[in-house]
Chain A
Amino acid sequence: AQSVTQPDIHITVSEGASLELRCNYSYGATPYLFWYVQSPGQGLQLLLKYFSGDTLVQGIKGFEAEFKRSQSSFNLRKPSVHWSDAAEYFCAVGATGAAGNKLTFGGGTRVLVKP
């Protein structure tokens, strides 16, 4: 069965500083990988996705993530954080070919941005 681990429950970062959120997954085949963001009181919004090809993927809001098969990781990065990036971030893995593509989510990382 697939699983996702986000080791950091909370991260506090100063506005303008860089941000990196860690994600490790477990899956036997080539995974679909996603990062979602959830602003307070809102549903989830897709930031970026990896299916195949270039292992560095660009997303919305200036985010990028790098797929490293050897480390089973898909870490999310942003060079310069804005106050509006304060939110909870979820990494997810999808099983290729699975009916309904049941995504498995990590526990989430809450990001606080200091002025």
Chain B
Amino acid sequence: NAGVTQTPKFRVLKTGQSMTLLCAQDMNHEYMYWYRQDPGMGLRLIHYSVGEGTTAKGEVPDGYNVSRLKKQNFLLGLESAAPSQTSVYFCASSYNDRGDVLTFGAGSRLTVL
């Protein structure tokens, strides 16, 4: 089925470790987003991309890096994980920038000990 696929779905890290979350979409969407979801805070935008080879900072970018080397993939990296990065991460993609056709992945739950 067409959609947004996130890997891994679950991960436990120790403080200081690094990891990469992969988001893949097969809908040929230009726009891709990484959000984090924390209780009572809704979703907050970490980074986004408006096309292949582009990235931009969102609301809470510190401690994260992203890359969009291929149009279908948007990678979120944590270079040195911290307990404050324990969260559920959602990737989303869209063919326009109006926000009405966002397709979300199922989420990746990350725990940093």
A residues engaging B (CB < 8 A)? 4, 6, 9, 32, 34, 41-46, 49, 51, 90, 92, 94, 98-108
B43 and A101: CB pair below 8 A? no
A43 and B104: CB pair below 8 A? yes
**In angstroms, how far is the closest chain A Cβ from the Cβ of B51?**
10
| Interface majority SS (helix, strand, loop, mixed), chain A | loop
B residues engaging A (CB < 8 A)? 4, 31, 33, 35, 40-45, 48-50, 56, 58-59, 90, 92, 96-102, 104-107
Q: 15 new A-B pairs (CB below 8 Å) besides A100-B31, A100-B50?
A: A32-B98, A34-B99, A41-B106, A42-B106, A43-B90, A43-B104, A44-B92, A44-B104, A49-B99, A100-B97, A101-B96, A102-B58, A104-B59, A106-B42, A107-B40
